[in-house]
């Protein structure tokens, strides 16, 4: 068996054309308290509090446009689907697929598929 991971943190990087706009959205969406960088090419958001597992989110300027569905995405878990979806829409997100009663094979979870202001997909998930 391999040795245990020696990780200190887990972060996610999102590619985009406008790091300021996307960092504004994700900072408000997740509640990060610290913002470092000017978007040339990075802005890193961190210190979300509340014992969240995601240590940081880096927003990275890239020259190419998004051309297809993302192969990985963020899941945001909530106890109140309707309120959280409405809050995220007010911040600039859009609903791609409204929540079904239950996502097949997902142990009673339902999910709303959404997109950030540049179209990167994420899900809001609740039981």
* Domain ranges, residue 31: 1-65
Quickly state the pLDDT bin for 10 (edges 50, 70, 90): confident
Q: Which of 65, 86, 110 is the last residue of a domain?
A: 65
Count Cβ atoms within 10 A of the Cβ of residue 63 and give its class: 0-12 exposed, 13-18 middle, 19 or more buried.
Answer: exposed
Residues 46 and 106 grouped into a single domain: no
Residues 61 and 86 grouped into a single domain: no
End-to-end CA distance of the chain: 35
Q: How far apart are CA 70 and CA 14, in angstroms?
A: 10
Residues 125 and 103 grouped into a single domain: yes
Q: Which of 39, 65, 91 is the last residue of a domain?
A: 65
Per-residue model confidence as pLDDT tens digits over 24-77: 999 999 999 999 999 999 999 999 877 666 889 999 999 998 999 888 999 999
Residues 93 and 106 grouped into a single domain: yes
How high is the pLDDT of residue 28? Answer: 95
Between 89 and 101, the higher pLDDT residue: 89
pTM: 0.88
């Amino acid at each position: 068996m391999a040795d245990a991971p020696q990780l200190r943190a887990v972060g996610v990087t999102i590619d985009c054309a406008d790091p300021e706009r996307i960092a504004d959205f994700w900072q408000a969406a997740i509640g990060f308290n610290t913002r470092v960088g000017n978007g040339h090419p990075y802005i890193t958001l961190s210190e979300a509090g509340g014992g969240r597992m995601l240590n940081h989110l880096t927003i990275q300027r890239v020259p190419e446009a998004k051309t297809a569905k993302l192969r990985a995405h963020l899941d945001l878990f909530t106890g109140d689907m309707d309120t959280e979806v409405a809050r995220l829409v007010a911040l600039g997100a859009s609903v791609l697929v409204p929540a079904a009663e239950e996502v097949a094979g997902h142990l009673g979870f339902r999910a709303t598929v959404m997109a950030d202001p540049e179209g990167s997909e994420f899900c809001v998930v609740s039981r």
